Structure 1
Amino acid sequence: MPAEPQEWVDATAAVLGAVLGEAVDGGQFPGGVLVVGQAGAGRAVAGRGVVAPECGDVRPDEHTRYDLASLTKVLATWPLVGAAVRAGRLDLDAPLRAAFPELPSPGSKLTAAQLLSHTSGILPRTGLARYEHTGRPLAEHLCAEPLVSAPGARHRYVDRGFILLGLLLPELLGRPLADLADGLWRGLGLTATAYGPLPRDARLAPTEQRLRGAPRTWGVPHDPSAALLGGVAGHAGVFSTAADLAAFAEHLLGADGPLPEWFALSRRPRTPVEPGLHRGLAWIVTADGSVAYHHGFTGTSLYLAPRTRRYVVLCSNAVYHGWDRARLAALRALALRVLLPAS
């Protein structure tokens, strides 16, 4: 790869864009958009296909809105937990009962760090519908369920931990989750990022048609648990653009400030995920610490290389024809590889 920043950005965007185009041309999903950048040095955008057949011939670009799915975890919940820690409202390593004495066991014994790092042992199956119409707060239900493993014993990626954090943050910071997140994003200049529901629009990518003959999921979260929670949850529900995600990446890769400091702490490896990869606080990190990243189920990804200040953003509606992990496997693997030191 060329050494000059803009040359690297342009060349990398071309390579990744070609792989994105192969998936789109092969009918894997309607389209998508990539942003490749180096903080302080420039960006390049590569869009392929169309937003969706429902949107006519509108082409995706960096201003097309996508359902971020689990990127909500790092775009909303994770930075807000950092704000609560900085404000002295939350101790990462103290049991939740220290701040919330009303929570039942065994969940009250868990720590925020365990929830963020997916090592809490909390029940993996989300299944929130069972708690409807009980009259009991959802946070209490989540904490009352038995654990499936000892806290800290192993990594198991689950949504419940972030759902629980999303329910607790308003009590810690004094405002509803959507208001807290909106204040965070506006402070960072992320003007197109929002919780749904959003009105259907040709610049907003629809996702999956769950039932034949039914309306396609469009402007409401693809994630059923987030939808059940009214679209605002700690694990999913946020919509954004590749441009906003690129701006967020550049904030995290900044030289100083509370968000880069929180990112530096959070990308320290805490538990192994698979050979060569660890989980920090929310983020997956390579063993050498050179790249941190997170995926969203709908077909979104954010990759950050702190040492070089390079990043890759991917936005797509890869679930348009239903979920298939293989649709994005090659592109995601390449996006990680181009940011590793050897590249």
Structure 2
Amino acid sequence: MRAQPLRCRCVKGRRYRDLHQRRQRTIACRRGRRALRRLRPDRPTDGGHHVIADKLEGLIARHLPATFPALSICVIHRGDIIMEEVRGWIDPDTRRIAVTTDSLFDLASVSKLITHSAFLALVEAGKVALDGPLVDVVPEFGRLNPRPIAGGQDPHTRKLLPVERRFRGQTVDPSAVTFQHLLTHTSGLPPWRSVYLLAAGAPPPPPTAGEAYAAERWRRGLAAMAEFPFAGSVGDTVRYTDIGIMLLGEAIARLQGCRLDQALGDLVLRPLALSTFTHRPVAAGVPRERIVPTEYDDHWRHRRAWGEVHDENACGVGGIAGHAGLFATVADVARFGQAWLTGDSRLGIGPALRQLATRQHASGQFRLGLGWMLKAEEDSSAGDRYSADAYGHTGFTGTSLWVDPQRQLVSSVLTNRVYHGRDPAGIHAFRRALHDLIVEAVDGK
């Protein structure tokens, strides 16, 4: 529901809006101090909490609205939600709809964690093997064989990438790609390709497109992905790629015998009672006032992405894909992280496979487990204070989830940092500073 302004019938027009804005700022300031105080409820207030609360207020003030107009934070420590903080506006230009704990954010690549978990649940159930070839489930991926190496596209500039000298003139056997290659981004597939341009033209605003329309877009997109050239040899090194996780999503759907969103619900979301996770939220009946908008797309859709996924490829294939497309509240994202931290049996993933998933499997630009990003030794988005064995994932729209097993700490941070554009500098600095501040508060030093 739309956030209601302060009830005061004698205040109208501009004064009415200004009064509501002042009230929101006052509530936000008080909420920030209470949230940081709750981080250490067992310790008396000795001034340290006020210092940390002031640091939080200062950090947020430096980045909201300049880096992002909407922010939601949820921190779980030792099983308890110790901080649930929201700031900003759904409509930053008019400031009529405040962000709330019920606001849904576009998770971008944090969606991959649900896809990875669903696949690992299928592995645990014996329905598929980690080292099984993708072509065993998606045979059309191997029909064009051998496949050339051509470099792919840069996901940000969309420019073609050059082929590495050592791969010039070489070809790849696509049947060599296993599911473990997809999970560790070592498949050799390109970092990105403009699937959305090959699937169809720009879709109408939600929720006008029907199921048949979305299914046809996915069919065309899948046909294109099954023939894309590779960017390198299979198993060579880490090349972070959305294409591989889109294909993994198709495999999950076929193994479950249903559409991907239904499979993710059956395998992960409903067992964990994560009810706010949804694809295509407007079509699912979520009011726009609960959905945080992202970027104005002046390249393809020529409208602001509000209630539809920001990622062009996910949008282009119908809004449901393995790599992006999910929306959720910050608390549900944190609860998902908590399920991994505690080994919740409802995940359907046993201890051995969970441990395998959070252990390093690939070297290169990223430290990766099976789908999870592992904390980088330097310049991690989790800051400098999270433990070395922390694992998590970030999303291009400004989202992240980090789990610190040593501290029994889970932090979910959701923003819409692409609202103003795609410069990543501000969000990276914010993430690092915020995670360091969370650890400072939890550790009490």
State the TM bucket, normalised to the shorter chain: 0.7 to 0.9
- Which range moves more in the overlay, 95-104 or 148-157? 95-104
Task: Say which of 139, 144, 154 aligns to 2:237.
Answer: 154
Aligned to 1:50: 89
Match of 1:232 in 2: 320
Shifted more, 90-99 versus 308-317: the winner is: 90-99
1:171-206: CA deviations, max 9, x gaps? 111111011122321221111110114255222111
Alignment of 1:1-343 (within 5 A): 6=41, 15-16=55-56, 18-25=58-65, 27-53=66-92, 56-74=95-113, 76-104=114-142, 105=145, 106-129=173-196, 131-132=198-199, 138-139=221-222, 141-183=224-266, 184-198=268-282, 199-211=286-298, 214-255=302-343, 257=345, 258-259=348-349, 261=351, 262-274=353-365, 278-286=367-375, 289-337=388-436
| Aligned-partner SS, 1:279 | coil
- Tell me the secondary structure at the aligned position of residue 264 of structure 1: helix
AA aligned opposite 1:174:
G
**Percent sequence identity over matched residues?**
29
Deviations 1:271-310, CA, capped at 9 Å, x for gaps: 2344xx6111111113675210111111110011122220
Deviation at 1:41, TM superposition (A): 3.3
One-letter amino acid matched to 1:279:
L
Change (3 A) 1:323 1:263: farther
5+ long unaligned stretches in structure 1:
none
Report SS of the residue matched to 1:45.
strand
How far apart, in 2, do the equivalents of 1:108 and 1:253 lie? 35
SS, match of residue 117 in structure 2: helix
Give the 3 Å change call, closer, same or farther, for CA 260–314 of structure 1 in structure 2.
farther
Cα drift, residue 318 of structure 1: 0.7
Which SS does the other structure have where 1:302 is aligned? strand
d(CA) in 1 for partners of 2:432 and 2:196? 35
Q: Secondary structure, in 3 states, of the residue corresponding to 1:301?
A: strand
Q: Taking structure 1 as reference, are residues 101 and 323 closer, same or farther at Cα in structure 2, changes over 3 Å only?
A: closer
- Name the aligned partner's letter for residue 414 of structure 2: C
TM-score, normalised with respect to structure 2: 0.68
Residue 5 (structure 1) shift: 5.6
Between the aligned partners of 1:175 and 1:331, the Cα distance in structure 2 is 40
Q: Tell me how far apart the structure 2 counterparts of residues 111 and 227 of structure 1 sit (CA, whole Å).
A: 26
Q: Distance in 2 between matches of 1:55 and 1:188?
A: 37
C-alpha distance in 2, partners of 1:94/1:255?
25
Change in Cα spacing, 1:120 to 1:109, as seen in structure 2 (3 Å) is: same
Q: What amino acid sits opposite 1:278 in the alignment? A: R
SS, match of residue 312 in structure 1:
strand
Partner Cα separation in structure 1 for residue 409 and residue 92 of structure 2: 33
Which region of structure 1 is more displaced relative to structure 2, 31-40 or 207-216?
Answer: 207-216
* Partner SS state of residue 105, structure 2: strand
Which residue in 1 is equivalent to 2:167?
none
CA displacement at 1:90 relative to structure 2: 1.5
What amino acid does structure 2 have at the position aligned with 1:128? V
Question: CA shift at 1:267, angstroms?
Answer: 1.0
Would the alpha carbon gap of residues 255 and 178 (structure 1) be closer, same or farther in structure 2, given more than 3 Å must change?
Answer: closer
CA gap 1:185/1:224 in 2 versus in 1, 3 angstroms:
same
Q: How many residues are treated as equivalent by the alignment?
A: 338
Q: Distance in 1 between matches of 2:435 and 2:255?
A: 35
**How far apart are residue 214 of structure 1 and its match?**
4.8
Q: Deviations over 1:42-94 (max 9, x none)?
A: 321222222332673333233210111111100x2111111221122211112
Equivalent-residue separation in structure 2 for 1:92 and 1:14 (angstroms): 48
> What is the SS of the residue equivalent to 2:241?
coil
C-alpha change, 1:290 and 1:177, in structure 2 (3 Å) is same
Which range is displaced more, 135-144 or 278-287? 135-144
For the structure 1 residues 131 and 107, does the alpha-carbon distance in structure 2 shift closer, same or farther, using more than 3 Å as the test? farther
Bigger shift: residues 172-181 or 10-19: 10-19
Gaps of 5+ in 2: 1-35, 146-172, 201-215, 378-386
Partner letter of residue 92 of structure 1?
L
What per-residue deviation string (whole Å, max 9, x for no partner) do you get for residues 3-62 of structure 1?
x86569x9678755642332005x222121111121423321222222332673333233
Given that 2:133 and 2:175 are in contact with CA atoms closer than 8 Å, whether structure 1 keeps it comes out as: yes
Instruction: Please give the secondary structure, in 2, of the residue aligned with 1:91.
Output: coil
Q: Work out whether residues 74 and 331 of structure 2, in 8 Å CA contact, stay in contact via their aligned partners in 1.
A: yes
Q: Distance in 1 between matches of 2:131 and 2:53?
A: 40
Distance in 2 separating the partners of 1:64 and 1:203: 5
* Change over 3 Å in CA distance of 1:15–1:84 after alignment to 2: farther
Q: Contact between 2:199 and 2:220, CA under 8 Å: does it hold in 1?
A: no
**SS state of the match for residue 180, structure 2?**
helix
The structure-2 alpha-carbon separation of the partners of 1:129 and 1:34, relative to structure 1 and needing over 3 Å to count, comes to: closer
Larger Rg: 2
